[in-house]
Structure 1
């Protein structure tokens, strides 16, 4: 992992992989759309330290990068990919970033926070949204996947 982002209140890695606990990650087709969604969440009462947009390249090249990971971290990533957890989501993020997409992070530690955030996010039409819980990743908005 190349760097950590001090924006995340509870850290951004778990078991050597990108995992921003208690955050919603929403993917958008452009940074402009992500910034529009960020402004909407701020208008709905979220604090500036709870909402942040980021370019696709920043997320995949800095936050999710495993370029400097050691052997154990790489093994964890392969196991994760095999069971379809975090690494699969990183693949989705990489695909969106390569298409010029961007991301929005929203701190949502409670179900009430998540519901409030999603009420503001859904009209912004993110490509996908997921929430990182302590023991699972919750799909909030996800397109149907075509078997590969």
Structure 2
């Protein structure tokens, strides 16, 4: 049985001990500069909706040199790369759900990345990510 991205996100949240339903997780054919993105968009009624977008051009590639560093961790196959990116984006989602003022790459983000997932870096390392904001 193949798990959907939403099922994978749900399993990650459960294993992290975060009692959250996952946001929609979609593949984006247009994202070519960043492997993953957490976005919140407001609908016509003024309701905010979170979503995680993953890059088809970057994350479905099979020709990366292995191992590939993602979030400071060695990944040896495309599935591991996707998992690290999804973990990273779910941290943004968790901070947003916790009503943190800043759900970007804050000290709290770093703490969760390290303590929950063992991430050694707060950037994906896949694609042309924007430099960190201070």
The structure, 1 or 2, with the larger RCO (C-alpha pairs under 8 Å, 6+ apart) is: 1
More helix by share: 1
TM-score by length of 2: 0.31
TM-score by length of 1: 0.29
